[in-house]
Amino acid sequence: MALSAEENGRLTGLLSEHAERVVQRWTEVATASLRGRLSQAELRRQVQDLHRSMVEAGRGGSFDLESESAGELRAVLAELSRGRARQGFTATETAVSVYGLKDVLLELLESDADTALRDYVAFSSLVDQMGLFTFESFVRTREGLIADQAEQLLELSTPVVKIWEGVVAVPLVGTLDSARAQVVMERLLQTLVDTSSPYAIIDITGVPAVDTQVAQHILKTVVAARLMGADCIISGIRPQIAQTIVALGIEFGDIATKASLADALRHVLRLTGAETARRQPRRES
Amino acid sequence: MERVPVLKIGDILLVSIQVDMSDQTAVQLQEDLAERIVATGCHGVIIDITALDIVDSFVGRMLSTIASISRVLDAETVVVGMRPAVAITLVELGLSLNGIRTALNVERGMELIAAAQADDYDYSAEDEPDDETTATR
């Protein structure tokens, strides 16, 4: 998609000759599409950067976005789309900032009708290429943001809290998929070791639906905790969830299940209380 | 050949496994432990596997065997210090160490054995309190 030397010369000539007018019109077109969400001064600065790096790329020889001389232009485009993606602009709004150049070029070429059409087609394909590059950077930044947020969500949504001496609780919130279940399991087991708590309460009040897969994850966690020598109680089972569990035929076996976290804590305290009560006379004897 | 030491603490035998278990080491440990239980008359065995990164079916079976041997000799076996990663792997493999009691650490394990023995004493203690009171006087 590289321009020929002749076309390149004409484009660079046009851009540098009418520098002030190009920047002015380009900024206007871009501003119109962004509806005042970015200040005119800020936009003008960005357009000026783009314009300058385009002229530089043109002077550096053949005008090709892939070439070495266009390195700065690529950097400016990437920076622009990264900024837009972070500020929450849509892909269209970002792309118009680049495609706006087409309108400007068309206006400039109208005065010279001779080679206008051929040049315009060549120029606009270059602008298309720049636009696609912008899209790519934009999408990459967006994907990065989404991945970061997913990770943050994973960290935020699985706290393990100590609610009593020797008792930790995991309030599960949101849908439990395999990845989250794994994180919950690891964090819970690690906390059991760190605090040497023999009891854990898994509270599923915030889990919207329990299917066989979610139940499987919970059961695995309980079995793993048992292997390590800790006991798990499942609490926060809502009426609909209880009905679903029975309808699906999920067996919790000898795992204690309680309706509320308070009931679960009472159950644990009774267990530990019974143990200490039983052990007390032996220590004295 | 590497040998796993068996330590006696009060009424409990403590086995801390710190080496990779081979067939020979496992058999040697079973023999040593059986002999020590008989020789010392201990009623509790604690097997500490904190140092083990991997617990496969072989080690799992060895633990089960040791627990069975100890039970025959009237000693309670508790496996302590299993790492979270090990527990997760065992669950994923579908290996549940049946018939083995577990505790988070050695301290909890000792409490568990003490509690189990307290249960035993409860049955026999009823005839004995007179002897104890006379003994303290």
Q: Is A278's pLDDT higher than 70?
A: no
Q: Does B93 touch chain A (CB under 8 A)?
A: no
**Residue that is written with structure tokens 């897969």 in the block:** A213
Give the pTM.
0.61
d(CA A167, CA A179): 25
Q: In which band, very low, low, confident or very high, does the pLDDT at B136 lie, cut at 50, 70 and 90?
A: very low
Do both A267 and A204 map to the same domain? yes
Distance CA A28, CA A17 (A): 19
Contacts of A53 (CB under 8 A, 6+ apart): A70, A72, A73, A75, A76
The verdict on residue B1 lying in a domain is no
Spatial CA neighbour of A117 closest among A22, A7, A24: A7
- Chain-wide mean pLDDT for chain B? 83
A74, B29, B49, B66 from B60: Cα distances, Å: 59, 14, 11, 10
- The Cα–Cα gap between A7 and B18 comes to 76
Whether residue B66 is contained in a domain is answered as yes
A interface mutation test: which of B43, B91, B105, B113 has the most A CBs within 10 A?
B91
Q: How far apart are the C-alpha atoms of B137 and B135, rounded to whole Å? A: 5
Q: Does residue A194 belong to the interface with chain B, where contact is any CB pair within 8 Å?
A: no
Q: What is the mean pLDDT of residues B59-74?
A: 88
Give the containing element (helix H, strand E) for B14. strand B12-16
For residue B35, what are the domain limits?
6-136
Contact between residue A239 and residue A259 where contact means Cβ atoms under 8 Å apart? no
Note whether B88 contacts A192, CB cutoff 8 Å.
Answer: no
Contact B102 A229 (CB under 8 A): yes
Rounded to whole angstroms, the Cα distance separating B55 from B52 reads 7
Q: What are the phi and psi torsion angles at A157 (to 5°)?
A: -90, 5
Residue B83: give its domain's CATH number: 3.30.750.24
Same domain as A117, residue A49: yes
- Give the domain-ending residue among A122, A153, A184: A153
What whole-number distance in Å separates Cα of residue B65 and Cα of residue B102? 15
State pLDDT tens for residues A25-57: 888 888 877 777 778 888 888 888 888 888 888
Is residue A161 within a helix (H) or strand (E), and if so which, with residue range? strand A161-164
- A282 has a chain B CB within 8 A of its CB: yes
Count CB neighbours of A63 within 10 A: 26
Domain-ending residue, one of A153, A182, A213: A153
Residue B102 placed within a domain: yes
Contact: B108, A229; criterion CB under 8 Å: yes
| Residue from A162, A213, A178, A229 nearest A170 by CA | A162
Q: pLDDT digits over A231-251, tens only?
A: 999 998 888 888 888 888 888
Q: Are residues A139 and A171 in the same domain?
A: no
Q: Give the CATH number for residue A249.
A: 3.30.750.24
Residue A223 has which token pair?
A: 């079995």
**In whole angstroms, how far apart are CA A220 and each of A2, A217, A256?**
59, 5, 15
- Whether the predicted pLDDT of B45 surpasses 90: yes
Q: What is the mean pLDDT of residues B15-29?
A: 87
All residues of chain B having their beta carbon less than 8 Å from the beta carbon of residue A190 are 84
Same domain, A277 and A175: yes
| Percentage with pLDDT > 70 across chain A | 90
Give the domain-ending residue among A126, A153, A180.
Answer: A153
Highest mean pLDDT among A28-42, A96-110, A216-230, A240-254: A216-230
Q: Are A126 and A151 in contact (CB under 8 A)?
A: no
What is the ipTM, given to two decimal places? 0.72
The boundaries of the domain holding residue A209 are: 161-284
Beta bridge partners of A256: A233
Q: Residue B47: pLDDT above 90?
A: yes
Judging by DSSP bridges, how do beta strands A256-257 and B6-9 pair with one another?
unpaired
